[in-house]
Amino acid sequence: MLALEVAGSPAYLEPDAVVVHPDGRWTVVEIKSFPMIDASADAAKVGAAARQAAVYVLALERVAAVVEGPRSATRCCWSARRTSPTCRPPPSSTYASSARSPAAS
């Protein structure tokens, strides 16, 4: 469960899954099912799922900043094939060993 302040009030969020990789990268997973029509899904629904995953990423980045301090800035990469980003901690040997904690919260 994550909390994110929206318009001055807390919004509670629950991602479907957060995968934490051994090297400290983390991936937000949003599970959706869309009908395929002419070999493609509805772009509006896929876009909404991508925005939903982006909100989870924002909330997790804020948790990481509180837990680890300013050095916990992450870089997120979006893939054209999926709606979930893969996020990486900054290159730092000190941070790499503790990067799993913020994403797992």
Determine, yes or no, domain membership for 105: no
d(CA 57, CA 51): 10
* Per-residue confidence (pLDDT) for residue 61, from 0 to 100: 86
Determine, yes or no, domain membership for 14: yes
Q: How far is CA 88 from CA 21, 40, 53, 83, 99, in A?
A: 10, 30, 16, 16, 9
pTM above 0.75, yes or no: no
Pull the structure tokens for residue 1. 């469960």
Domain count, the chain: 1
Domain that holds residue 24: 2-99
Determine, yes or no, domain membership for 94: yes
What would the pLDDT profile of 3-43 be if each residue is shown by its tens digit?
A: 888 899 999 999 998 888 888 788 888 888 888 889 889 99
